[in-house]
Amino acid sequence: MKRIVQIGFILTLLFAVNSFYANAQCKGFAKKICRAELGSYTHDGNYHAAILVEGEEAELYKTFYSDQDYRVAICGSDNLPTIEFKVIDANKNILYSNAEDEYSRTWDFKLESSQQLKLVIKVTTFEELSDDPASGCVAIMFGFKAD
């Protein structure tokens, strides 16, 4: 019984350490790598990042305001396959797909009227199937041009 408790404790500790390490890595990736993709745009300060697995999808809902210059940057860590993203309006029309833009990590846009838009982010899959699917950090960052 004592041994079971010991093993349980060690596994819990390993989980906590690993989780903390993965979180810290994801935060570092978002701050150092993805934020830089915003270039001259001011990052809004919000943090959207998660560990995603090959084939996994994520969605993000956000209101964008008229007459503001925006850049969205969506970045995946090096070990992940290509990250695909689409921007979709309330009527489910696709306004942008980076698949038609050489899988660009960024998209610059401006709206004539404010809109709530949805971003659909998908980690594509490697051509070769693996028993151990790749997983890594995906960060989504928004920048705007301040007056």
Does position 82 bind other proteins by CB under 8 A?
no
Asked whether the beta carbons of 140 and 72 are under 8 A apart, the reply is: yes
Residue 100 CB, nearest distance to other proteins (Å)? Answer: 11
Asked whether the beta carbons of 109 and 117 are under 8 A apart, the reply is: no
Among 33, 48, 105, 124, binds other proteins (CB under 8 A): 48
Query: Please, which residue, 26 or 73, has the CB nearer to other proteins?
Result: 26
Does position 65 bind other proteins by CB under 8 A?
yes
Residues 6+ apart with CB under 8 A from 18: none
Residues 6+ apart with CB under 8 A from 42: 143, 144, 145, 146
Among 33, 35, 99, 124, binds other proteins (CB under 8 A): 35
Does position 97 bind other proteins by CB under 8 A?
no
Does position 68 bind other proteins by CB under 8 A?
yes
